[in-house]
Structure formats: C-alpha cells, structure tokens
Structure 1
Amino acid sequence: MKYSSIRPGQMWLDTEGKPIQAHGGSIITVGDTFYWFGENKEKTKPGSGIWHWGVRCYASKDMYNWEDKGLIIPPNLEDESSPLHPTQYMDRPHIIFNQKTRKFVCWLKIMKKAGTQESTVLTADHILGPYTMERRDLRPLNMSAGDFDLIISPDGKAYYYFERVHSELICADLTADYTDVTGYYSTHFPKIQPPYVREAPAYFYRKGLHYLFTSGTTGYHPNPSEVACAKTFHGSWNILGNPHAQDTSCTSYNSQITSVFKHPFKKDLYIALADRWIPNLPELGGEAFGNGDKYRKTAEQFRAIFDPETDYVPTEDHHDDLAVDTSVSTYVWLPVRFDGEMAYLDWHDEWKLEDYE
C-alpha cells in the first residue's frame, strides 16, 4: 500500500505491509532522508514478560511511506541484567548528531524494577548503527531520570530535558560529546505527585520562543497535555494551557506526545508525534471516555496510589486499566497551529504535508 497522506490514529504499515513499530520515537533528517526510530513493541503482548524488542528505524523520502531498516539497537537476549534485555523497561530512544565528534548519540530511559529510572547512552558513526554502549546505569545529576527529550542549540550546545521521577522537570546541560551531563541544571514545573507531575517533554523552538509540550502522569493511559514557552532553555516557563482545545475526553485525542519535528523543507510546519497506546480505549470507556469521566477516574486512581495520606483500595477494573497491549499501539501525528504564542493541535482525520508551504 502506498500512502499519500497522514491519517492520525489509523494503523500505519511500512513498505512491506507490516505495522510500523517506532513508539516513543522521533525523526532525524540526514541529507534528504527522514529516519523515524522508536521502541519496537511487536512482541509486547500482556503476560509475555517482554517490554521491548530493541529500537527499530524506518527511512522515507516523503514521510508517508516508510522502509523498515531493521533493528538499529537490537535486544540483548543473553544478559538479563543488560538494559537492552527484552524484560528490561527500555523506553523513549532519542538520537542526536554531534557535529564535532561526528557521532550519532542515543539516550535510552530504563525503568528499573526497584522503582528508580536510569539512562543508557550509545553512540554510532551512522544513524543505522551499529551502536556501541558508552554508559549504562547512569543517574544524571544523581537523580532518577524518566521521560526526556534531547535538544541541540544552533551553537552546538546540547540540553537534556527530563522528568525527575514523580517530582519536577529538569533542564540539564550536556557535555561536549553529548554522552553525560555537566552538572549545570535548572528545575521546572514542580508538582506534588502523579497524576499532576509533568512527563513526556517534547521541545521545539519557534520565533524566539522555546516550547515544551508535556503530559500528566497516568502510565499508558492518556491525559490532558500542557504547553509552555520560555525565552531561554532554562526558563522560566510560562504555562499557556492545553493545546488540545477541542478534546472533550481529556486524553489529548487518546494519545501522548513523544516529540515535535520541525520539517526542514517547510517554512513553518511543526508536527507533534504522539503514540496512541490504547487504540480501543474509546470502546472500553464508552460514554465515560467521551465526556472525560474515564480520564478523571484513572487520574484519581494514580493520585491515590502515590498519596501517602490515602488508603488506596483498587477498583474492580483497575488491573484491566493497566494491562495494555502495546504491540497494537498506533500513532497520532498532527500539525501545530499557532495563534500568537499559543500552540494548538487540532484534530484531522487526514492531512497532507503539501498543504503547508
């Protein structure tokens, strides 16, 4: 099947007719080729014990039709302690290119079974690998580091936005080789606990302003997004509101933003890349999904779990809410619409890159 448009939420097949597996991912441009990479979830059925099957990458010239280039970071099947073992909770690969070292640098978030979250850093000479592990079990700034984004400024300096788990968002300067933090950082969006803590930071820059999309903290269950802007990488940040203004379900159109891609060959096209982790959530929630009650119930469950003042008693369907089949997750890509400083994400059943200059 050959595509000529983007259809948010619908199953997206590669050029071989297989579902694309690039979740929690991003796009990087090399020459005139787009590379879309992310978590390979093809084997992550509930009860399988498998969280990931490596990092998969796809190549495209038009951003509609994607050729599978394989596992650029394969799972390590031999060493159960490796952060790349399929049972380890590896999430959200981000890859940036270092002009000075001529290396592609990949950071991975690893959720440890003990409850902490750490980072793994790999490098390669080519976007498609092979990748060499440079650091593992890294606790940046001695913090538990969750969802993140990596940014390179025009002068080549790089920054690392990450969720200090269940606490606040951190902006940390990266070292010159992009494989570690320098020690200089700033803190933002302090919150008491989930579901209020901001995670899934997705950065972009436009017309003198730095932007961040973030989500709340409700596991794989979607929640309202928030957009903020600042005049510098380290803030301070001005919270602008929910970019999904049309969404009555309070679920960001049943999706979670993973990154924002500025199209290099378009004048002013920014695309929010998001995962629809639970495609059948509207059917599961029924009327409660559409009016936001499903989200509010999930948010209350997460609030109660993490609130030490509350004796939490799980509801009957709580376990089902958290047993998610990510192997069938899809994608929601939407163009960003600007109104002054505010960035909006309007719903489109179908849209074309050609509609933008």
Structure 2
Amino acid sequence: MTDTIRPGEIMYDAEGQQIHIHGGSILAVDGEYYWYGEDKGQSTPATGRWHSGVRAYRSPDLVNWTDLGSILPAESSDPDSPLHPQTMMDRPHIVRHPASGKFVCWMKVMHADGRQRSWVYQADRFEGPYSLVRPGFEPLGMSAGDFDLVIDSETGRGYYYFERVHSELICADLTDDFTDVTGTYSTHFPHPNPPFVREAPAYFRHDGRHYLITSGTSWYFPNRSEIAVADDYHGPWTVLGDPHRNDPSGTSFHSQISSVFTLEDGRHIALADRWLPDMADDMIYRAWRATEAQFTGGRPDPDIDAIVQAGAPDTSRARHVWLEIRFDNGRPFIDWQDAWRP
C-alpha cells in the first residue's frame, strides 16, 4: 500500500506489477476511480506492437490500483480492426451517458493512407464488453488527431475537442447519444505547421470557467505546454501560456499531458506521459527545430531524423507524470512535486 504519487517514477499495481497504460484518463464511477489507456506493456521495437488493447485499473484512493485487465482486448486475428496490435490506435476516452448509463469509448487511429479516423464503441458496464457502434470515420470530414471528450454535468450535452491534423483545434458538439458529432463546431488556435500546431487537448473546468491544456506537435519529443481559458466551450479562448512555471527545461517536465481529472473537492490532476524518459535536453531542443525545418524547408537534423525514421520508440519504458493543477491569483499552474497526496 502507498499513499503518495511520485511523478516520473514507475507505478505498480496492487500485485506489484508495473503499470504500462498510457495516453490515459480517469473516470469516477459509483465511488470508485477507473484509470484506463493504451496498454504499452509489450510495445517494444522488437515486438512491433503499437498497443495491447485498452487496459484498466480500479482504485478507492487514486494511488493503489487493482488491475482489471483489458476492457477492449487486442484483436490479433483481424488486421482491419483498430484493436489489432500493429494498428496505430491512440488515446481512448470513455464517458458515461447521464441518461442511459451507457459507457461510450472513442479512440483515434492513424491509418495507412495517412488519414486519422475516429472509432466509437459502447458498453453497459465500464469493464465491458464493448461493441463497435461507429467504425472508422472522419468527424466533420476532417482528419481527427488527439482529442478529449467533455460532458457538461448540468446540461448533459457533450463536446469533442480534437486536433484537425497539422492545422488547428476543433470543438464539435456531440449527438445526444455521444456516438457522433452534430455538425455544429468552432475552430481555434490555427497554426501553419508543426511544431506550433496544438495537439493533446486536455479540458477541465474551474470556478465556472473552461480551461484547455495543449502541447506542441513534435512526435514523441516533449515540448512546452500551453493553457488557455474561455467562458464557453466554443471560446473564444485566451492563451495564458506555459503553466509549468518552475520547469527550467521548458518541456512540461519532459512529458505530455493526456487528460485532466477533477476530484470531488474541485482539485485537478494533470495526467501526463514521459514517453522518452532517458532523452537528454539538448536532443529535445534539437527535435523542436528539426520538426519546424521539416515543414518549412529548413536544414534537417540527421540525428533526429534517424530517431523518427526508426519508428515508435520503446513505449513500454514510458513513465507517468501526475501533478496537481493549482491556482495562484486565479491563474492555473503545474509545479513539480517529488511526492504528493491526492
């Protein structure tokens, strides 16, 4: 048993096994916490596995986790499935419909044709089984990348924030059953090219205001986060800058935030992945410049290009960086803590 979160250290479950889920989120259900994400336990260059399905854990206190196994298992026999181990499935997000009680899971898949599509599953229980209700599609006709799902607790309406790949961020209204978009949407944070394009949107609400944390677009290399605030889901958004005020590396403590979980008392936890735990700062800085050069015709960096061309890194070695979002004079900040209690 433990009572603390130690950012950047390996996390273990109640049986002493290392937790390998990433691109994760937490959902509170009937007084218990459920943490889920991509199972990266076997995602090494040698195996060629992008993922091993969607895995989940349950906890009464956010620090001691019981393994529930795969809630959307890998489908090794179906190469066309988004759950095939070699399919580039990322960042599953699950919400519970307030009226029907059904659990709706969206995931993004990077397809071989270069387009990114959304797949939607549904279940009566969080643990599943889940059934495919909407196969790979492009919401609003757009190639949809990293995303977050948001349900308004007062109105029951749903919103889908996603990166329109290498372009801008979109906020789209969900249909009443949360399995599609209605056609109503707004556009935000336009940029001409990576690494400036915003991805990995992570939404939370505090004192009635809406907040979005996003990262730049630089492959698995970490970069500086950016937080924005608005008075409506559709904006307009005011950019507040990097919330990591005591991070000398300027790389969100070498991590990328995947989601924000809000506790019952109104505090917020930023869940982040440290994809490259052993990467030196100088390589990370070079990666940002190399990404910009790739899209602007600048000078390439052979060392960075070689890393990217080698394919996905050993994501089984990725670490978790969970930190509290605190407010100082009404402004959100994420400061480093070696250990803390939720």
In structure 1, the partner of 2:160 is 160
On the 8 A contact 2:162/2:169 being kept in 1, the answer is yes
In structure 1, the partner of 2:145 is 146
In structure 1, the partner of 2:40 is 41
- 2:252 alignment partner AA: S
In structure 1, the partner of 2:122 is 123
CA drift of 1:149 comes to 0.3
Cα separation, 1, equivalents of 2:298 and 2:341: 50
CA drift of 1:340 comes to 2.9
- 1:344 alignment partner AA: F
Cα separation, 2, equivalents of 1:317 and 1:225: 21
- 2:307 alignment partner AA: D
Cα separation, 1, equivalents of 2:300 and 2:63: 46
- 2:268 alignment partner AA: Y
In structure 2, the partner of 1:270 is 268
Matched, 1:305 2:294: yes
In structure 1, the partner of 2:338 is 349
Q: Which 5+ residue runs of structure 1 have no aligned equivalent?
A: none
In structure 1, the partner of 2:81 is 82
Structure 1 window deviating more from structure 2 (39-48 vs 139-148): it is 39-48
Cα separation, 1, equivalents of 2:141 and 2:14: 43
Change (3 A) 1:317 1:299: closer
On the 8 A contact 1:250/1:295 being kept in 2, the answer is no
Say which SS state the counterpart of residue 316 (structure 1) adopts.
helix
Alignment of 1:182-261 (within 5 A): 182-261=182-261
CA drift of 1:317 comes to 4.6
Cα separation, 2, equivalents of 1:31 and 1:313: 52
Cα separation, 1, equivalents of 2:92 and 2:114: 20
In structure 2, the partner of 1:340 is 329
In structure 1, the partner of 2:28 is 29
In structure 1, the partner of 2:172 is 172
CA drift of 1:295 comes to 3.0
Matched, 1:330 2:319: yes
Deviations along 1:100-156, whole A, 9 cap, x unmatched?
Answer: 222100000101122110000000000100000111111000000000000001210
Change (3 A) 1:31 1:195: same
Cα separation, 1, equivalents of 2:304 and 2:208: 47
Give the alignment's TM-score, normalised by structure 1: 0.92
CA drift of 1:303 comes to 1.1
Deviations along 1:247-285, whole A, 9 cap, x unmatched?
Answer: 111210011001111012x2x31110111111112xxx2
In structure 2, the partner of 1:279 is 277
- 2:315 alignment partner AA: T
- 2:271 alignment partner AA: L
Cα separation, 1, equivalents of 2:212 and 2:165: 17
Cα separation, 2, equivalents of 1:315 and 1:244: 30
Cα separation, 1, equivalents of 2:298 and 2:166: 19
CA drift of 1:314 comes to 4.1
Change (3 A) 1:311 1:346: closer
Structure 1 window deviating more from structure 2 (321-330 vs 201-210): it is 321-330
Cα separation, 1, equivalents of 2:90 and 2:155: 29
Percent identity over the alignment is 51
Cα separation, 1, equivalents of 2:43 and 2:199: 22
Give the alignment's TM-score, normalised by structure 2: 0.96
Cα separation, 2, equivalents of 1:11 and 1:261: 20
On the 8 A contact 2:287/2:304 being kept in 1, the answer is no
Say which SS state the counterpart of residue 336 (structure 1) adopts.
strand
Cα separation, 2, equivalents of 1:86 and 1:253: 29
The number of aligned residues is 339
- 2:26 alignment partner AA: I
Cα separation, 2, equivalents of 1:173 and 1:26: 21
Structure 1 window deviating more from structure 2 (133-142 vs 166-175): it is 133-142
- After superposition, the CA RMSD in angstroms is 1.3
